[in-house]
Amino acid sequence: MIYNNFISKIPNGSLNDQWKNHKSTLKLVSPNNRSKLDIIIIGSGLSGGSAAATLAELGYKIKIFCYQDSPRRAHSVAAQGGINASKNYQGDNDSVDQLFYDTIKGGDYRSRESNVYRLSEISSNIIDQCVAQGVPFARDYSGYLENRSFGGTKVSRTFYAKGQTGQQLLLACYSAMSRQIGKGRIKMYTRHEMLDIVIIDGKARGIIARNLINGEIERHSSHAVIIASGGYGNVFFLSTNAMGSNSTAIWKVHKRGGYFANPCYTQIHPTCIPIHGNYQSKLTLMSESLRNDGRIWVPKKIEDALLIRNGNKIPKDIQEIERDYYLERRYPSFGNLVPRDVASRAAKERCDKGFGVVNNETKEGVFLDFTTYIKQYGKEKTNELGIHNSNEKTIQKLGKKGLKDKYGNLFHMYEKITNENPYETPMKIYPAVHYTMGGIWVDYNLMSTIPGCYVIGEANFSDHGANRLGASALMQGLADGYFIIPYTIADYLSEYIGKNNKKISIKHENFENSEKKVKNKIKKLLLNNGNISPDFFHKKLGNIMWKYVGMSRNENGLLKAIKDIQKLRNNFWKNIYIPGIDGFNSELEKAIRIADFLELGELISMDALKRKESCGSHFREEYKTKEGEALRDDINYKYVSVWEYNKGKPISEEIFHKESLIFNFSKLQFRSYK
């Protein structure tokens, strides 16, 4: 079988027929043959976990790997706000087409039409599936499913379980997966990390993994490999990702021939808790859903901002007329619910001008204020309860209770971290690195340029374009895992039925070579005679990335970033020091991951440099409108940038390809939220 590597395989026909028609052309594997086929899955979050559960349900033999001590810890667990689906339960004229339109527009017309349409179609199934699995979604008093609204949309289509939707969805797919582990169809490898992918005859046939407890290097062979290892936001050091989230799996795929698409699209989430000091190890998100009921502002007068920062004034001292609700001012039709990239840049603009309200090194932070909600909701509630002559105190009390019911755990978390009570004083927030829209290039079947290597969830690139709308990550993870990969992977695996069904021996020389390479690298790191700890390099890299490749970028900055990263990488290999020996060694784990980040960081900068336009999260200062909005260039940049690793050469010599984006059904418009 010959696989032509770099063809997107978008089916013919109109958008709403494509997936249906495509499925009818895909080959099948009969139930009695499925148990003869082995599939390896890397990552056990929403996409990997759901893929494992469903593929095992179908009868395939699965090995799944995660670096945590249990699949229930995957970082999907931390997603707060919710999951989108075009059910139109609220009767606000939502539809598959509307969700498709919002997502395409939200991604600033840099995603694939057919993938996004398929996602919108499947979204409804996901909710039904999860309800059946026992996910306790929020319900209204009549017993039906409740919805709320998120940034970049004008309808309420987000299903949620308080502020812990990701946790509930992950636990449901973890349970489904556990059921299959119990049956013996899935073998779970916890505290294991994939350190290489093994290619035999041009196809993905296995992996090299490291057992993180005893340091042993293991070989595992299979008929196909699915990468579901999540995003690479930790390249910025400070991010909302879990501490262990890393790019090693996708980077190894890239180094072995998997093309990398749109590496520079990094979502900056507007509502994180601002940075406090240089001891900080990570940033914590406050769900975007808070913007439903919170209003964002900074003082109108720069003197007031200064007084607040110095602690000489509190938010209550600033009169309504002296406050600048800048999102409502600039974007009257969407207000506080503009998409994440727009909200992030607007916050940066205010803070750059000196209006920030947080007394940290960078003076960065804005208020997220719930006073209006407390008043409105409290008043409504007193009416409902028939309390006449209600006083201010009762209204406040009921209003705060309403907030607690909706966002209790988020408010609790905020108070823990900042030591401020958000029921009494507005939250302070600032943008931070969150989700990466770029990733391994995949075709419509979610297969990378390496035959037999599939990439799903945040680890691939296809559905969110240059900016992801809120509550869409969970949707994509589950769509890929539950409903897409089971169909498309069968098409590939069907080739292995009959006389082709030869298992690959782990004694094959390519396994040998890959293992040797991995072992040598570990040896080199452990024996290096340096004196600098891994964390130092990670923080340094993060500083470079945030400063020059963060919320706004320009040519000189990016050129500097590339140089600085190269220098830092040299320094790393010269001076890295890892205490201890091979075996359980978290410093070694970190160093292996950082070595990959130090290469990926350069590619991200190269990609940002090449894209001489602004779109979604990628904001080049040279390309903006008079009002400071992102200025897209559809004539020259309506493509996916795709990078091919040039074997044996430095990152700076990667080969550049383009996948032209074809928009047959949506009209490319200037993205306005005014």
Partner 1 sequence: MKKLLSFVLKIWRQKNNKEKGKFYTYKVYDVSPNSSFLEMLDLLNNQIINNSKKETPIAFDHDCREGICGMCSLYINGRAHGKENLTTTCQLYMRRFYNINTIYIEPWRAKPFPIIKDLIVDRSSFDRIIMSGGFISVNTLGKTIDGNMIPISKENADKAFDSAVCIGCGACVAACKNRSAMLFVAAKISQFILLPQGKIERKQRVLNMVKKMDEEGFGNCTNTKSCEIECPKGISTENISLMNKEYIQSFI
Q: Which residues are catalytic?
A: 340
Alpha-carbon distance values, 609 to 217, 355, 432, 466, 553 (Å): 38, 30, 21, 15, 8
Could you tell me the two tokens for 277?
């000091």
Dihedral sign, CA of 526, 530, 534, 535? positive
- Based on the shown chain and the rule CB under 8 A, indicate whether residue 413 belongs to the binding site for partner 1: yes
Dihedral sign, CA of 124, 154, 137, 64? positive
Q: How far is the CB of 95 from partner 1 (least distance, A)?
A: 16
Q: How far is the CB of 284 from partner 1 (least distance, A)?
A: 5
Evaluate whether 92 touches 156 at the Cβ level (below 8 Å): yes
Q: How far is the CB of 22 from partner 1 (least distance, A)?
A: 17
Stretch near partner 1 under the rule CB under 8 A, chosen from 313-321, 429-437, 573-581, 660-668: 573-581
Q: How far is the CB of 168 from partner 1 (least distance, A)?
A: 6
Quick one: 279 or 321, whose CB is closer to partner 1? 279
Nearest one of 249, 241, 248, 254 to 542, comparing CA atoms: 241
Residue at 481: amino acid letter? G
Residue of the chain from 416, 502, 507, 647 that contacts partner 1 (CB under 8 A): 416
Residue at 433: amino acid letter? V
Quick one: 189 or 444, whose CB is closer to partner 1? 189
Quick one: 44 or 641, whose CB is closer to partner 1? 44
At residue 100's C-alpha, the angle toward residues 95 and 102, to 5°, is: 95
Stretch near partner 1 under the rule CB under 8 A, chosen from 119-127, 428-436, 458-466, 634-642: 119-127
- Based on the shown chain and the rule CB under 8 A, indicate whether residue 142 belongs to the binding site for partner 1: yes
Stretch near partner 1 under the rule CB under 8 A, chosen from 169-177, 312-320, 558-566, 636-644: 169-177
- Based on the shown chain and the rule CB under 8 A, indicate whether residue 336 belongs to the binding site for partner 1: no
Alpha-carbon distance values, 344 to 58, 327, 338, 397, 641 (Å): 43, 10, 10, 32, 24
Quick one: 140 or 317, whose CB is closer to partner 1? 140
- Based on the shown chain and the rule CB under 8 A, indicate whether residue 144 belongs to the binding site for partner 1: yes
Stretch near partner 1 under the rule CB under 8 A, chosen from 134-142, 513-521, 651-659, 660-668: 134-142
- Based on the shown chain and the rule CB under 8 A, indicate whether residue 244 belongs to the binding site for partner 1: yes
Quick one: 87 or 323, whose CB is closer to partner 1? 87
- Based on the shown chain and the rule CB under 8 A, indicate whether residue 36 belongs to the binding site for partner 1: no
User: Strands 83-84, 224-227: parallel, antiparallel or unpaired by DSSP?
Assistant: unpaired
Stretch near partner 1 under the rule CB under 8 A, chosen from 182-190, 200-208, 225-233, 382-390: 182-190
The footprint of partner 1 on this chain (CB under 8 A) covers a number of residues equal to 82
Residue of the chain from 41, 42, 99, 188 that contacts partner 1 (CB under 8 A): 188
Dihedral sign, CA of 119, 667, 637, 627? negative
Query: In 3-state terms, what secondary structure has residue 485?
Result: helix
Q: How far is the CB of 42 from partner 1 (least distance, A)?
A: 17
Residue of the chain from 228, 235, 242, 522 that contacts partner 1 (CB under 8 A): 242
Stretch near partner 1 under the rule CB under 8 A, chosen from 239-247, 307-315, 337-345, 643-651: 239-247
User: Strands 217-221, 366-369: parallel, antiparallel or unpaired by DSSP?
Assistant: unpaired
- Based on the shown chain and the rule CB under 8 A, indicate whether residue 527 belongs to the binding site for partner 1: no
Q: How far is the CB of 283 from partner 1 (least distance, A)?
A: 9
Quick one: 12 or 531, whose CB is closer to partner 1? 531
Nearest one of 321, 325, 347 to 335, comparing CA atoms: 325
Nearest one of 292, 339, 334 to 437, comparing CA atoms: 339
For residue 262, which phi and psi values (nearest 5 degrees)?
45, 45
d(C-alpha 547, C-alpha 563), whole Å: 14
For residue 350, which phi and psi values (nearest 5 degrees)?
-65, -45
Q: How far is the CB of 373 from partner 1 (least distance, A)?
A: 20
Q: How far is the CB of 281 from partner 1 (least distance, A)?
A: 5
Which 272-291 residues touch partner 1, going by CB under 8 A?
Answer: 276-277, 279-282, 284-285
CB atoms within 10 A of CB 216: 12
Which 486-525 residues touch partner 1, going by CB under 8 A?
Answer: 486
Which 50-109 residues touch partner 1, going by CB under 8 A?
Answer: 50, 53-54, 57-58, 68-75, 77-78, 87, 89
Which 470-489 residues touch partner 1, going by CB under 8 A?
Answer: 482-483, 486
Quick one: 89 or 639, whose CB is closer to partner 1? 89
d(C-alpha 390, C-alpha 373), whole Å: 17
- Based on the shown chain and the rule CB under 8 A, indicate whether residue 26 belongs to the binding site for partner 1: no
- Based on the shown chain and the rule CB under 8 A, indicate whether residue 125 belongs to the binding site for partner 1: yes
Quick one: 78 or 506, whose CB is closer to partner 1? 78
Q: How far is the CB of 611 from partner 1 (least distance, A)?
A: 32
Alpha-carbon distance values, 507 to 201, 218, 220, 513 (Å): 15, 12, 10, 10
Quick one: 192 or 618, whose CB is closer to partner 1? 192
Element of type H or E holding 403: helix 392-418
Query: In 3-state terms, what secondary structure has residue 252?
Result: helix
Stretch near partner 1 under the rule CB under 8 A, chosen from 33-41, 94-102, 142-150, 380-388: 142-150
Alpha-carbon distance values, 666 to 102, 111, 114, 308, 362 (Å): 11, 12, 11, 46, 41
Evaluate whether 197 touches 450 at the Cβ level (below 8 Å): yes
Q: How far is the CB of 149 from partner 1 (least distance, A)?
A: 19
Task: Give every CB contact of residue 485 below 8 A, 6+ residues apart in sequence.
Answer: 51, 54, 55, 226, 446, 454, 456
